[in-house]
Amino acid sequence: MYARTLGMKKLLLLSFVVLFFIPHHAHASTQVIMGGQGTVAAAVAVHHYVLNAEGIAIGNGTAATGTTTMPFAGTFSNLTLTNTGVSPVVGTWIFTLMLNNASTTITCTPTGTGVCSTNSVSFNAGDGVDLAVDNQTNQTGVASGWSWSIVMTPTNSGDTFAGTGASTNYSATLNTYIIPNGITNATSESTSTMMLFGESGTLKNFYMSATSKESLSTATSSAFIRSGTFGLNTLATSTLTCSLSQDANATNGGANSNSGQCKDTTHTVSVSAGDAWDVVSQPLGTPTGAREFGTTVQFTPTVSGNFDWFANSGAAQGANTTRFIPVNGNAGTATAEASTSEQLAADTTVTGFTALAGTAATGAQTLTITLEKNGASSGMTCTITSSSNTCSATGSVAYVNNSDTINFKATLPAGYSTQYLIGTIATPTAAPPADSGGGTSQINVGGGFLNILNGWFYIP
């Protein structure tokens, strides 16, 4: 009887050992991607918006003229809308997530702020996505407006999406400097086209997708990322670059592997907290007109599980004013806080941010940046003084999906006007448990215990 019991315990022990050493697959972290309309066109029409920036309308009609090209595979879900205009909502609006210029099951007709669709849609690296906003009611004289957020779950844990630079009418003869997460571009270096990293990490998987057709097959364009210490003539050209040739028969960008798309999935670029970055477009050959395309890139933060938002005030804020700004994009500042406040598509915790003033403060001048929650200070704030053009804040501010709103407040004293950049660090509030990475594992077996990693066990 004893031998039989001992044999059963040995079998049980073997079962535990096998289960203990079965490899666990890491849970994919989630990212909340945010965007908004900015100025709303009054006319009845379908407008297509870049998914992760404020105020970028990229065309009318049933097919997008430009999209966000995803640099990795994953799933979208839980589309959440914030009504930033009049309430109740005027007329009928239909929001639809587009994938490679085709409608998906993420679609809804909102009546106000909140979760709009809980459906999910998978995407692959190189796929193009945008948000189609069908305004079915003339909005003349109506202060309409929407912002949105959506959950992105990557196939590979740690993949996060940094931004989309998209616009029209890039110069056919000059380099064009493009904001990485917005619509602003210029033919000379400008703080208006830069964003700021709130933490260190790695850039990779750089995509460029054409949104217009050149009439000559020899006409080509290239784009590359620059990063480094903030300032004019201070950003260094990185190895992340690609060139595309767009001929008369190419479809508009966004469709996977079409001839209007190029990518660099080989090189990587390391960045530090407080680094500025932008994208530069360079015309090659002899384009016959202005070029149009969008660029996207992946950012992997050094701290696993984090994701980041990037904001630019869009213009210099006037002296002796208080203004409000969304946490993502470059739609500019507003005097009304409600027009910049947004709900999040998932429970999210902000753990810090870094702010940078484009014009250095002097004397007693200051710029105070405050993270807001539900229209009031969250307690996370920092102040730029004449001793430095940057400041940082850390802490833990939790936001609940379908309830709390988020934005920034910026306050300037008399005599000081400046543009500013903000890089924000966030993480899912309900993060999945980490895989076992070592230490002692004790398992009860008939009143005894095991310590497998240290090589001993006891079974009475």
What's the confidence (pLDDT) of residue 223?
79
Choose between 146 and 256: higher pLDDT. 146
Domain of 357 in residue numbering reads as 308-428
What's the confidence (pLDDT) of residue 171?
67
What's the confidence (pLDDT) of residue 262?
81
pLDDT at 447 over 60: no
Evaluate whether 346 touches 401 at the Cβ level (below 8 Å).
yes
> Domains in the chain: how many in total?
1
Cis omega (within 30 of 0) on the bond before 413?
Answer: no
- Read off the pLDDT of residues 389-401 as tens digits, 9 standing for 90 and up: 999 999 999 999 9
CATH number of the domain that residue 400 is part of: 2.60.120.40
> Do strands 420-428 and 376-384 pair parallel, antiparallel, or not at all (unpaired)?
unpaired
What's the confidence (pLDDT) of residue 185?
73
Q: 372: pLDDT confidence band, cut at 50, 70 and 90?
A: very high
Choose between 416 and 6: higher pLDDT. 416
Domain membership flag for residue 361: yes
Radius of gyration of the chain (CA): 25
CB atoms within 10 A of CB 203: 24
Question: d(Cα 178, Cα 309) in Å, to the nearest integer?
Answer: 17
**CA nearest to 188, candidates 233, 149, 126:** 233
Question: d(Cα 307, Cα 299) in Å, to the nearest integer?
Answer: 8
What's the confidence (pLDDT) of residue 166?
65
Sign of CA dihedral 75, 166, 181, 299: positive
3-state secondary structure of 188: coil
Q: 282: pLDDT confidence band, cut at 50, 70 and 90?
A: confident
* CA 256 vs CA 69, 128, 208, 263: distances in Å: 9, 7, 12, 11
- Read off the pLDDT of residues 51-76 as tens digits, 9 standing for 90 and up: 887 655 555 444 444 578 899 999 99
Percent of the chain with pLDDT over 90: 40
Read off φ and ψ for residue 360, nearest 5 degrees. Answer: -65, 140
Domain membership flag for residue 313: yes
Domain membership flag for residue 39: no
- Read off the pLDDT of residues 92-146 as tens digits, 9 standing for 90 and up: 889 999 998 889 999 999 988 889 999 999 999 988 888 888 888 877 777 678 8
Domain membership flag for residue 420: yes
* Mean pLDDT estimate for the chain: 78
> Tokens 């009304």 belong to which residue?
336
Domain membership flag for residue 391: yes
Choose between 234 and 215: higher pLDDT. 234
Domain membership flag for residue 297: no
Q: Indicate the DSSP class of residue 291.
A: B
Evaluate whether 324 touches 333 at the Cβ level (below 8 Å).
yes
- Read off the pLDDT of residues 395-427 as tens digits, 9 standing for 90 and up: 999 999 989 999 999 999 999 999 999 999 999
Q: What is the dihedral of CA 111, 113, 119, 122, to 10 degrees?
A: 130
Q: 17: pLDDT confidence band, cut at 50, 70 and 90?
A: very low
Choose between 206 and 137: higher pLDDT. 206
Q: 438: pLDDT confidence band, cut at 50, 70 and 90?
A: very low
Domain membership flag for residue 176: no
What's the confidence (pLDDT) of residue 38?
63
pLDDT at 168 over 60: no
* CA 449 vs CA 4, 445, 457: distances in Å: 20, 6, 6
pLDDT at 257 over 70: no
> Tokens 């660099």 belong to which residue?
264
Domain membership flag for residue 249: no
Evaluate whether 399 touches 348 at the Cβ level (below 8 Å).
yes
